[in-house]
Amino acid sequence: MSAEPAPAVSADNPLLAESPLPYGLPPFADTSLEHCREAVLAGMAEQRAELAAITGSAEPPTFVNTIEALERSGALLRRAEAVFGNLSSSLSSPRLREIERELAPLEAAHADALRLDPDLFARVDAVHAARHSSGLDPEAVRLVERHHLDRVLAGARLDAAGRARLSELNRELSELSTRFGQNLQLATEAAAVRVTDAADLDGLAEEEVAAAARAAADRGLDGFVLPLLLPTGQPVLAKLRDRELRRRVFEASVSRASSGEHDNGPVAVGIARVRAERARLLGFATHADLVLADQTAGSTAAVDAMLARMVGPSVANARAEAAVLAEVAARDGVTELAAWDWAFYSERVRAERYAVDRAALRPWFELDRVLVDGVFHAAELLYGLRFTPRPDLAGYHPDVRVWEVSGPDGEGVGLYLGDFTAREGKRGGAWMSSFVTQSRLLGTRPVVVNNLNVARAPEGRPTLLTLDEVDTLFHEFGHALHGLSSAVTYPRFSGTAVPRDFVEFPSQVNEMWALWPEVLGHYARHVETGEPLPAAVVEALDAARLWGEGFATLEYLAATLLDQAWHRITPETEVGDPAEFERRALEEAGVAVDLVPPRYRTTYFQHVFAGGYAAGYYSYIWSEVLDADTVEWFTERGGLRRENGDVFRDRLLSRGGSVDPLEAFRAVRGRDADPGPLLRRRGLVPTSP
């Protein structure tokens, strides 16, 4: 690998050196998009020079001069990509998207240079061959194995022609994925539903109507605008009494990015084809086989077996729910239940059968109270963590707030950033990411951020959450805990750097505390009266727990099986119309139920076409097997106790990718996972012993 001249970088670029701010928080106020662009370009050149020094060394390859040197390399690029990557999701703009399109193929080529260089692989291969006789500790041995496997699966053993073709495919894939994500963001913004008459918004709370008016004003429009979130199901569908408006919102959601200048159908086909060819080149039958080779599931057969066990019962449960909904809808003169009716009448059934009006619960779930007295409180009880506001530290947008995190002994752990409200330029959904990851080798401590897309409250009014948004906040904070708890030596293993089908497990576990009595009673207070959520409501929520699980499981399985279908095509597969491919895939999988569309359809399935979940969307349910079993473990041991938190943190959260994930699970649970708790949680009857 030869070094290249470093691109010119302006002298005032704050990303050139480590940030002087606490924990290395990026100096957002001083950092421009142009700074990000030139720092990414310079960072790639700098890292290639570092790799050239590794491969050009006359010394025999060792762990320190090869593997550890790789871990130390790329400091500037890490800083720049962390900032730019987060901004592209949270603060997009025309200029940012332009830079993103420019950088995507260059970053793909750079990644190939790291993974495919034959001289570098020869050194890694030599260290790998001697790993058990070199006196390395277990984490170092695992690091060698990971670097080796990463390169083998990336194509390092291909000949020169194969490596050249692979690099072409990776560049093409990077460009297509970037286009998919940008198309989706623009199409989602364009598909927001405009309403001219406030009467049509009957069913929405006063603050939700005000948020819709503000969304219209932000676009320079009169009236109201209902923005769309990422999944098929939109929260307003459970509340709007106007059936025609429900239809408009639903159809806007499911038709996103499926026509016109932002049509993602051909882009999705292109991505699937490139992935299929790349998998073939690497010696795998399909992209799904390539992905599963490095996941805890191990094989597509294992994934198929798990999904097959759930399809039949979930379809039966959903059809039974549909029959109940049809009866209720008939009282309103609805002769044929439609998909846009489901959420609305499901809430009515929940209210009538279980005395639960979920929409009426919002005054008990004020954002700051849920966060501080709920999410943070549970983390303090369980892990001894404390969160101190740092108003002196600025985020990348005025909406972003910063907290310093300290441990049980008062020692500094890291920073937590919260960006909770929706806005233009921010992609839909909710996620966690990192600006700085923990590493003893690099002397860094974590700086993590949670993003949600909660509707902004009117000026001077509190921001209220739905129960689903409360669950989402606890879920995403579980990812944040994974990053904040990290205690590893090497950055390759830090925090959430675990297999995709394991990464959702800790965050799903953290959802259990949302309704845990000690936690719920601490944060669920009426925003005006301060009264706690009535005990009868809590009991009703528990009684209603299984209602709607048929729908929820089926919409998830449909998306999962659609992901698998797209990523099991071969280079010879005739796809044709992507909508027709989707229809056939759902029918053949046994999940084609018109009333229950997939949680994500092809053209807005960002997780798999512009994210890291390609052939891996199954990981949510795979991780939930571990999650449900772990919830039983916590419950059996008394729940929210420091002893339990210490075990879970020390044996699993803190280990990141430095140990085999399933070994970490066994270190907590004492055995392999039992799928029984998950099947009980979702109301599914096992179809096989």
Which of 541, 581, 580 has the alpha carbon at shortest distance from 563? 581
CA torsion sign for 627, 631, 636, 642 is: positive
Tokens 């979130």 -> residue: 229
Sheet containing 431-436, strands listed edge to edge, beginning at the edge strand earlier in sequence: 386-389, 401-406, 412-421, 447-454, 431-436
Cβ neighbours of residue 394 under 8 Å, at least 6 residues apart?
28, 29, 400, 402
- With beta carbons less than 8 A apart as the criterion, state whether 481 and 375 touch: no
Q: How far is CA 305 from CA 285, 298, 563, 565, 679, in A?
A: 19, 12, 16, 15, 14
Residues in the chain: 689
Annotated catalytic residue within 404, 476, 504, 555: 476
User: Catalytic: 476?
Assistant: yes
- Degrees (nearest 5) of the Cα angle 352, 355, 358? 100
Could you tell me the two tokens for 92?
A: 């997009």
Cβ neighbour number for residue 507 with a 10 Å cutoff = 23
Spatial separation of the C-alpha atoms in residues 198 and 211, rounded to whole Å:
12
Could you tell me the two tokens for 347?
A: 């809430």
Q: For residue 503, which phi and psi values (nearest 5 degrees)? A: -65, -30
Spatial separation of the C-alpha atoms in residues 97 and 640, rounded to whole Å:
44
Cβ neighbours of residue 42 under 8 Å, at least 6 residues apart?
6, 7, 9, 16, 76, 80
CB crowding 603-638: b at 16 or more within 10 Å, else e: bbbbbbbbbebbbbbbbbbbbbbbbbbbbbbbeeee
- Helix and strand numbers, DSSP H then E, in the chain: 26, 7
Spatial separation of the C-alpha atoms in residues 685 and 689, rounded to whole Å:
10
Cα 611 from chain centroid (whole Å): 8
C-alpha radius of gyration, the chain, whole number: 25
Q: How far is CA 210 from CA 52, 206, 359, 426, 428, in A?
A: 58, 6, 16, 20, 20
Q: For residue 413, which phi and psi values (nearest 5 degrees)? A: -105, -45
The set of catalytic residues is 476
